[in-house]
Structures are given as C-alpha cells and as structure tokens.
Chains A and B, each alone.
Chain A
Amino acid sequence: MPAPIRLRELIRTIRTARTQAEEREMIQKECAAIRSSFREEDNTYRCRNVAKLLYMHMLGYPAHFGQLECLKLIASQKFTDKRIGYLGAMLLLDERQDVHLLMTNCIKNDLNHSTQYVQGLALCTLGCMGSSEMCRDLAGEVEKLLKTSNSYLRKKAALCAVHVIRKVPELMEMFLPATKNLLNEKNHGVLHTSVVLLTEMCERSPDMLAHFRKNEKLVPQLVRILKNLIMSGYSPEHDVSGISDPFLQVRILRLLRILGRNDDDSSEAMNDILAQVATNTETSKNVGNAILYETVLTIMDIKSESGLRVLAINILGRFLLNNDKNIRYVALTSLLKTVQTDHNAVQRHRSTIVDCLKDLDVSIKRRAMELSFALVNGNNIRGMMKELLYFLDSCEPEFKADCASGIFLAAEKYAPSKRWHIDTIMRVLTTAGSYVRDDAVPNLIQLITNSVEMHAYTVQRLYKAILGDYSQQPLVQVAAWCIGEYGDLLVSGQCEEEEPIQVTEDEVLDILESVLISNMSTSVTRGYALTAIMKLSTRFTCTVNRIKKVVSIYGSSIDVELQQRAVEYNALFKKYDHMRSALLERMPVMEKVTTNGPTEIVQTNGETEPAPLETKPPPSGPQPTSQANDLLDLLGGNDITPVIPTAPTSKPASAGGELLDLLGDINLTGAPAATPAPASVPQISQPPFLLDGLSSQPLFNDITTGIPSITAYSKNGLKIEFTFERSNTNPSVTVITIQASNSTELDMTDFVFQAAVPKTFQLQLLSPSSSIVPAFNTGTITQVIKVLNPQKQQLRMRIKLTYNHKGSAMQDLAEVNNFPPQSWQ
C-alpha cells in the first residue's frame, strides 16, 4: 500500500474542491484509506493518519474510529506520536466515551516523565478533558508538579489544577498549601496562571475567599505585583503596545475585585493602586483602554470611596466620547450597570448617551436605549421623550417593541400633564402601532378613562388617526374602544384643547364598519369594533337602525366570537331593550392594577378621603344629562330600572375582588368575557349578585355573626341604620345593609344614597329597593353595600344623601365613624 499522503497534501486537495459534494467525496475516500491503514496496524504512518483525521473532524465529519488510535499513539515512545495522540485525545475524546479511562495510566506515567515537554502534554490533556475519575486519580501528581521549580511545568500544572477544581470541588483544599508560594515567582506565565487558580478558588468557595483575605495577606501581594508592573520600565518580553503585560494586569484587577467585594479592609488596601492605575494608564491604544475598563469594573464592585467612583464614571464618560465604537459599547454597558447606584454621576453624561442613540451600530443603539430609559426622570422627561420618540421613528423593527414599552412606562411615571401623556401615547401608537405589546392596549384604555377631562380631545385625535390608516391593530383597538365610549363627545364637536372637527354619526359608523370588514383587522379588533358600534346605540340618536342592521348581519358571522357577540346584542335590542341603556352606560374609572401587583388601587366607587364629594371636578365636556358623573355612576345615580354596577376588570392575576365586566372588551387574558353575559341577562330582575366575584352564593344566607348594628345618620327626620354581615367565604368582605326611614309627615322622593371609603378599601353598592322613603316610618329603603377590606383597616365612610322633601331638594354629607370593630377586623 502506498504511503498515505501528508496532511498538507490533504488540505490542499480539499481546498480545490468546488462544491460540498466534491469535498465530501474526497474526504470519504481519504477516510477509507485511513481506516484500512489503521487495520494494518502500521506504526510509522499512524501519526500522519490521525492528524488527517483530526482535520476532517474539524471540518465536521465523523471521526470516532480514530479514538483508539489516539490511545495507541499516546502509549508510543516517540514524542511526535505522543503529541498528535494527545491532541487527538483532546479533540475527539471526552468523558462521555468510555475509552478515555484507558488514558489514565498513560497520563500518570507521562506526568512523571523525564522530559518536561511530555509532562506538559500530559498536563494539558488532563486539564482539557479530564473526567472526575481521572482528576481524582491524578490530582496528587498535579499537586506535586505545582510545587516544582520548573516554571514551564508550574504554569501548566496551575491550569490543570483549575480544571481539577472545576470537576471535583472537594479537592480544592489539596491545592491550598501549594498556592502559598505561587505569587513569589518572577515568571509572568506562572504568575498569570496562579492568579487564575486563585480566582477560581475564591469564586468557588467563600471559605477560601475568607481564608485568602485574612491569612494569606493576598491583597498586599497583588498590590505589590501590580505596582511593579506599572512602574517597571520597558521589558521586551512582556510588552504589548507600550504596556507591560496587560493580560496579567487585567487578571490581577479581576482577582482584586473578587477579594474586595463586600469587604471594607481589602477595599481600602486597594484604593491607592486602583487610583494609580486609573490615572497612569495610557489611553491611546486599545490595550490601555482594556485595563481602564477592568479597573472601572473593579472600582464599581468593591466598597470604594466616593472620589474613586466619580473617577471611574468620568473615565466611562471619556470612553463615550472616544471614536472607537468598541470602547463606546463597553462604556455604555458599564454605565448601565452603574446607573442604579450612581445615578447622579451618570446623569451628567446624559447628552452623550442620547447622541449614541443615533449611532449606526445596532449593539450601541440598544445599549443607549436601555440607558436612556434608566436615566429618565421628572426633570428631563420632556427632552428625553422627544429624543426617544425620534429614535422610535427611525430604529430597527427589533427595537420598536422594547422602545414602545419603555416609553409607556416612562410616560406613566413622569408625565408632566395628562395632555402630554395622551399626546405621547398617540404618537407611539401612530408610529409604532403594530409593535406595541398586547398588554399595552388595556393599560392605555385604563389611562384614558382615568383622565376624565381629556376624553373629548382623546377621542377626536384617535378618530383622526384611524381615518387615515386602520391597519395597526393596537391603535385601532384603542380607537374603537374610545369611540364606542365617547362617541357622543365626538359627534357633538366639543373639544377644548383642539379645533373641534365636524363629524356626523354616520361617518363614525362608517369608519367602524370598515374596521369590521377590513382584511387587516384581527379577530380581537373586530370584537372591539362590534362592541363599540353597539355602545353607540345608546349614545347616538339618529342611527340606531343602522346599528341594529350591522349587529344583526354579524349574527351569522363565521367567526364564533363575533357571532356570539352579535347574537347577544341582538337579544339586547329585541327582548331586553329596556335594559340596553343601563347596560351600555359609560364605563367608570377603572382600577389601576400595575404589573407589579396592586400597588395603588384608585378608588373607583367613591373618592379618596378627605375630598368632599361635591368638589369632585366634573368633566370638562358636557355629559349627557341622563348619566351622572363617571365616578358616581356606580352609586346608583339613575332612577330607572336596576342599575347593573358595571364593575371594572382587573388583571386576572391579582387576588380576590375581581368583578367581571359585562361588556368585557378589556379582558386581559384575551378570551372574551362576554360568555357570562347571556347567562346573566335573564336574571336581571333579581338583586344583581351576577357580577359577584367576591363570593358565589348570595351573601344574605351567610350566618350573621351577631355584629351590632349602628345608626349611621339621623337628621331632619331621616334615619339611616347599618346592619352588618361578614362573609364566611371571604373574610375581608363586610356586607352592610342600610335601612333608611323617614319619620316626617311627608315622603322623601328621589332618594339617592352615595358612599365613599378610604383608598385601601373597595366598595360596591348594589341597587336600592326603591327611591322613596315613605313618611311616618311606614316603610324603608334597603340597599346593600359590600366593602372589601383586605388590609383589615378601620372602616370609615363618608355618605352623601340627596332627596326631595317638602318640595325642595335636600342634600347632606356625613361621616360615619362608629363602625363596630367586629365589622372590619
């Protein structure tokens, strides 16, 4: 058989292959040749064959049949054989193959070999792919070599020890005595690897760390070495672009970081050297900057004094101005890490950071964006937002979603005015509308409902936005919802903030219908549009027939969701028309449930203490007179048929107290909540426990726990008594039944009872039995109030009574403080 070709020839041949198939063919041919050569047990050419095999392995072809051959090579006496053998072992073998254990004995012998290069090979291989068993067996040898005077071996042994420790952490103590003298070496190779070994030990075991801090006086040693490096003159073998052994410097700095973390003494010992490195290092080349970067990282991590920290941040600031994009990137990354702790110092560099938003490089832009969001605060919100919006316009699509969410968060926290907030949201929706996250839509809607005075302005702007383009789903969803809610404001052309536009009801319905029909609308958007159209049936006057027609068409839609909604709405038109206006009333202000949990529950059914009820600012636009103020809506302001307290939805994740929205568009799980509607619609005649999320059974059946009743109010002949019940199913709920009686000679008509509780409570008022309190105590009005008191605070309530008596309208406010403790504890 002819001599197998050399590796070089093979490489040359493979390079001439023009296609993948040609290459594969060549390799297969060569593999076959190698295999037959192995079978012949040819010692002379084994080395060459294995080398070729390794090359082919690197290109991605299977080479496992060479594993045993590697072992044979290792066992051979020739150095060249051993070299390839060990290399092959490192590349082809690992602890998953059973074959590797056969190597253990070879390695052991080679570790004691007379030639240092062979020992070095063995150490290398062990350090590369040694399994835990091998490491355990051979750790002793490694430790012995760690103590030799031969620096070539020492450095290799140190690296091998790192691997052993990683594989078998229990053996760490074994290497401890050997480390005592490691740092006394002059040889930089040994120093470097020793520092790596020490770093590994300190990272793995806090005991070791403590030991090194106290007993070994490691920090002063390291400081000394570092100082020598900086101060020493030019040394040709360690010089890199004018700096002496930067790699060692960086390693030492890293170890100092680990030692100084959370430890005052060590941190103090290294303050000087860090300052020295920071000021003396030359920054014209990348090398110097690398060292400075490491220094900055160390300063930020240990307990350094504030002067040093300011120095560090200034270095980062200087990096930002550098032309080299690598350095800018690195600076932005570290600033991001430090912005939490040293906020003010970083603020000084804000303008540079904002400039980086315009950089061409994607990684830099991303970092700059994250950093900008971290730097936004109440003072710079307007300027920053302008820059961020501009960035949103021009950035790559992969950023848009994150940028949009960031802008929303920042706007929510620091918005200087409601109008600005809404403008910002509108801008985001129109520029990046399709990238906005799904949960942004409900958040926005809730925000809009909260800014009562801006309704007209908002709906006008939203209308104008979707007139032009209704392809961006989140924008269309928000717009549809708002138009549905505030369509009457839109048509009546009342807007204080902007020029009001003239819109007719038909035009509004046109746009909503086109959303419904459009191919671009998703199923969810269509649902929003349909519900909006339905709500407009109570707000619009002339186009109710058109609405009826639209709704009935969709009763046979293919989309199950739309069909269901349309059928229910149809039912509303036909059988339950008397309830339609009540059902489709304007939504009250919603609970604000932030993503961090219910940190702030805006009082929906009443107001916060101490604002008296009548000074609640009424919305700037005119409200239809048949509907009361949004906030007081829930308090049964209407005297028509039983008002369903249309209660707000909240995120399903928050604990108890969720009350389902009947017109559930804003269901955050995405599944429509309209399903309970058909079931509950027929039950309307009963006292509405429908939407009772607090407990499923009627609470009247709960065992009364004998809580004494109180007289909450008694004046001018009107007496109001409270009786209490606690729910067994939910201990934070108290059910109060009020009874209003009238001892005067004339009836009190149009009696309305309203209540407000402090912020930490939630209140639900069910509808009263009637609105007339008959005279001479001949009858009473009963009304049920449910109070949710999750924090078990003392219950207090402010009540407002309005009624007509003796031909004049009466109104009174009172505070009820005499709740018995059992009612709220």
Chain B
Amino acid sequence: MIQFFLMVNKQGQTRLSKYYEHVEINKCTLLETEVIRSCLSRSNEQCSFIEFKDFKLIYRQYATLFIVVGVNDTENEMTIYEFIHNFVEVLDENESHLIMVNNSFYMLLNSIC
C-alpha cells in the first residue's frame, strides 16, 4: 500500500506531496528532509529501493526532481518504479512544463491511485 508520494527537488524543497495516511504537519517536513537526504546520498550505481524505518522508499530522479514513493512491505517495488514513470509520462503529456502544475497534479494522482 502506498503511504505517501513526494516530489522533491535537489535542494530539498518539497514541490508536491500527498500522504495517504495521517501524518502530522511538523512530522511531514521532518520526514521529507530525511527522505530526500537518503535519496540524495545514493550514487547512480545503487538501486532505487531503500529501506527506511518501517517503509520502503522507491525513488526516481528526473533532472533536478526526485519522485519518491513510500510503500509498506507488501508492495511490488518494481511495479511502483514503473508506476512512477507512467505518472511522469502522463503529466508530461497533459502539461507542457512539469514543474508548473499543482492542481492537475493532485487530480491526476487521484485518478491514477
């Protein structure tokens, strides 16, 4: 089950986030910084799945943007990896600039997830 979906840039600023489980607002920011820290510290040769506390993180980098999905144990990591790419492709088709969108992001997320 997907716990959260984040789009974070390389400087650590959250561009977009959606939580599927209730997380308090201050914990959100903390979580996001930790997540981006672990993703940034990975090199290219390392695999895209990280074990983080009690979830698994699956991340994908697109230029300066990281898309990170946090899942619990039962999920197939590779499917999620593929899903991230699918999501990005759809976003790309619908909007010309990936970064500018906010509302459509959420609408899209709601239709896919």
A contact residues, total (Cβ < 8 Å): 41
How many residue pairs link A and B with beta carbons under 8 A? The number is 86
Q: A8-B100, A60-B28 are in contact. Are A87 and B45 (CB under 8 A)?
A: no
Contact B50 A363 (CB under 8 A): yes
Q: How far is the CB of B66 from chain A (nearest CB, A)?
A: 16
Contact A326 B25 (CB under 8 A): no
Contact A58 B49 (CB under 8 A): no
Q: How far is the CB of B21 from chain A (nearest CB, A)?
A: 10
Contact A297 B47 (CB under 8 A): no
Contact B47 A329 (CB under 8 A): yes
A178 contacts which chain B residues (CB < 8 A)? none
Q: How far is the CB of A45 from chain B (nearest CB, A)?
A: 16
Q: Is B94 part of the contact surface with A, judged by Cβ < 8 Å?
A: no
Q: Is A391 part of the contact surface with B, judged by Cβ < 8 Å?
A: no
Q: A325-B46, A361-B45 are in contact. Are A60 and B26 (CB under 8 A)?
A: yes
* Contact digits for A183-214, partner B, Cβ 8 Å, 1 yes 0 no: 00000000000000000000000000000000
B contact residues, total (Cβ < 8 Å): 31
Contact A87 B29 (CB under 8 A): no
Q: How far is the CB of A778 from chain B (nearest CB, A)?
A: 78
Contact A7 B81 (CB under 8 A): no
Contact B86 A240 (CB under 8 A): yes
**Alpha-carbon gap, A627 to B100, bound state (A):** 86
What is the predominant secondary structure among interface residues of chain A facing chain B? Answer: helix
* Contact digits for B89-104, partner A, Cβ 8 Å, 1 yes 0 no: 0000000000010110
B51 contacts which chain A residues (CB < 8 A)? 363
Q: Is A642 part of the contact surface with B, judged by Cβ < 8 Å?
A: no
Contact A87 B106 (CB under 8 A): yes
**Alpha-carbon gap, A711 to B27, bound state (A):** 78
Q: Is A593 part of the contact surface with B, judged by Cβ < 8 Å?
A: no
Residue of B29, B45, B76, B77 near A60 (CB, 8 A) is: B29
**Alpha-carbon gap, A247 to B26, bound state (A):** 34
Q: How far is the CB of A343 from chain B (nearest CB, A)?
A: 23
Q: Is A395 part of the contact surface with B, judged by Cβ < 8 Å?
A: no
Residue of B25, B46, B100 near A362 (CB, 8 A) is: B46
Q: How far is the CB of B25 from chain A (nearest CB, A)?
A: 6
Q: Is B14 part of the contact surface with A, judged by Cβ < 8 Å?
A: yes
Q: How far is the CB of B17 from chain A (nearest CB, A)?
A: 6
Q: Is A452 part of the contact surface with B, judged by Cβ < 8 Å?
A: no
Q: A7-B102, A51-B102 are in contact. Are A60 and B46 (CB under 8 A)?
A: no
Contact B25 A286 (CB under 8 A): no
Q: Is B53 part of the contact surface with A, judged by Cβ < 8 Å?
A: no
Q: Is A535 part of the contact surface with B, judged by Cβ < 8 Å?
A: no
Q: A60-B29, A330-B77 are in contact. Are A364 and B47 (CB under 8 A)?
A: yes
Q: Is A290 part of the contact surface with B, judged by Cβ < 8 Å?
A: yes
Q: How far is the CB of B19 from chain A (nearest CB, A)?
A: 9
**Alpha-carbon gap, A206 to B81, bound state (A):** 31
**Alpha-carbon gap, A360 to B43, bound state (A):** 10
**Alpha-carbon gap, A293 to B110, bound state (A):** 27
Residue of B45, B76, B107, B110 near A325 (CB, 8 A) is: B45
A-B contacts, 6 listed (Cβ < 8 Å): A58-B14, A246-B79, A250-B76, A290-B79, A293-B76, A325-B46
B contacts, CB < 8 Å to A: 13-14, 16-17, 22, 25-26, 28-29, 43, 45-51, 76-79, 81-83, 86, 100, 102-103, 106-107, 110
A contacts, CB < 8 Å to B: 7-8, 11, 51, 54-55, 57-60, 62, 83-84, 87, 94, 96, 124, 128, 240, 246-247, 250, 254, 286-287, 289-290, 293-294, 297, 325-330, 360-364
